[in-house]
Amino acid sequence: MIAGAASVAEQVCRSCGGSHIDTFLKLGTTPLADRLSLKVDDGEEEPVFPLSVVVVE
């Protein structure tokens, strides 16, 4: 699996605009949820990205 090079941590909440973001739970890395690979053994590694649950105060 390839670590996502385009992964960016949000600095401002997209919902409320708050900037005090604290990580609540780190879920590790995961592939994109809606990426469907049509070939099982195409030789291409699936990219993975960090997934965390955060809370805005």
The model's pLDDT over 33-56, given as tens digits with 9 standing for 90+, comes to 877 666 665 667 778 889 999 999
pLDDT of res. 27? 93
pLDDT of res. 33? 80
pLDDT of res. 53? 92
Q: Mind giving me the DSSP string for the chain?
A: -EE-TT----SS-TTT----EEEEEEEEEEE-TT---S-TT-SPPPEEEEEEEEEE-
pLDDT tens sequence across 1-39: 455 556 677 789 989 999 999 999 999 998 888 776 666
Q: Which domain holds residue 29?
A: 2-56
